[in-house]
Amino acid sequence: MNSRMLSCCSSSLAMTMVLLTCHLIVLKAELQVGFYSFSCPLAEFIIKDEVQKSFLFDNGVAAGLLRLHFHDCFVRGCDGSVLIDSTLFNLAEKDSPPNNPSLRGFEVIDRVKARLESVCKGVVSCADILAFAARDSVEMTGGLTYDVPAGRRDGRTSSSLEALLNLPPPSSTLDQLTLRFALKGFTQEEMVTLSGAHTLGRAHCSSFSNRLYNFNLTTKQDPTLDPLYAALLKLQCPKGDNSPNRVASMDPWSPAKTDVSYYSNLLANRGLFTSDQALLTSPFTAFLVSQNAQNDFLWKMKFAAAMVKMGKIDVLTGFAGEVRSNCRVIN
């Protein structure tokens, strides 16, 4: 063999290696729809059943579960880290200001996990449970259902500081929101789409009472807040009372319906947070808001797609991480 041929062979060998490696990486990294078809065929059914039962008891559960998945994915990827309890040595994500006391739905996840462990021990990850439960919550409240690619593994780290650094606060401007979402790989359009999740659920007074009582030095009430809506909010959140049992629905007329009223509320200056109303502060995002407000089906399609994308942020797959046997504690 002359050297020319040799270099040709070795380069094609190198090519094959590269292709093989790529293939292996893909196998390792890709989430799959139907991931539990063989290892735990009833998994998705059990999750939906438990979410449904909890929802019938308290329809706020849907909002809680949807937000849990979002807060999981934006902090260290969708690795179930939001579910880990704090210990003497570690303040976990769930105890950071954006999460405590407002996150809810943990007991639902505990019940799901207990049932799954009893039928398929150590198989279904907590991170996947969150992704399925969020999908079921969207479906149960009137959104479009979608297939959830699965195979996420659970992380072994949870830090309250990381939650604080990665979750956008309700005081955010459009630029700040855009940056936070871009850091997680989202376009501005996807950000506007995902914000429609605020069609569900409630907020604690502390998340928006500055808009009612101390907007800035010279103006008490946020002028971009509809005065009628502000009056309603003031009834629910008396001045100076930020106790954790004071809450207001984010979409007062249909707090347990996944619909486009979030967007029509914004157009009527009835967005609850500064960050919600901020979506009207650029021509492009304002256009998207009115487009969504007018097209329920289009938004629901875009929302389902964006949820699938959110569920892929920095996932652990293959042999990385673990499958926790109790979602609250690392194995």
Catalytic residues: 71
Stretch near ligand NAG under the rule CB under 6 A, chosen from 57-65, 66-74, 130-138, 216-224: 216-224
Q: What does the chain come to in residues?
A: 331
Q: Are residues 132 and 148 in contact, defined by beta-carbon separation less than 8 angstroms?
A: yes
Backbone CA torsion sign across 90, 176, 78, 137: positive
Give the x/- contact pattern for ligand HEM in 167-186, rule: CB under 6 A.
Answer: -xxx-x----x---------
Secondary structure (3-state) at 328: coil
Ranges within 187-216 binding ligand HEM (CB under 6 A):
194-195, 197-198, 200-204, 207
Which of the listed partners (ligand HEM, ligand NAG, none) does 217 bind, with a CB threshold of 5 to 8 Å by partner kind? ligand NAG
Secondary structure (3-state) at 187: coil
When asked if residue 60 is in the footprint of ligand HEM (CB under 6 A), the reply is yes
Which of the listed partners (ligand HEM, ligand NAG, none) does 216 bind, with a CB threshold of 5 to 8 Å by partner kind? ligand NAG
Residue 228, token pair as written in the block: 């009628």
Q: Are residues 130 and 56 in contact, defined by beta-carbon separation less than 8 angstroms?
A: no
Q: Which of 217, 235, 245, 319 binds ligand NAG (CB under 6 A)?
A: 217
Q: State how far the alpha carbon of 208 is from the alpha carbons of 33, 169, 245, in Å.
A: 39, 11, 15
Stretch near ligand NAG under the rule CB under 6 A, chosen from 98-106, 217-225, 261-269, 320-328: 217-225
DSSP secondary structure code for residue 329 in this structure: B
| Residue 180 CB coordination number (10 Å) | 19
Ranges within 253-292 binding ligand HEM (CB under 6 A):
273, 275
Percent helix, percent strand, percent coil in the chain, to nearest 5: 55, 5, 40
Q: C-beta of 216: minimal distance to ligand NAG in Å?
A: 4
Nearest residue (beta carbon) to ligand NAG: 216
Ranges within 71-90 binding ligand HEM (CB under 6 A):
none
Backbone CA torsion sign across 272, 131, 140, 190: positive
Binding site for ligand NAG (CB under 6 A): 216-219, 223
Binding site for ligand HEM (CB under 6 A): 60, 63-64, 66-67, 70, 102, 104, 168-170, 172, 177, 194-195, 197-198, 200-204, 207, 273, 275
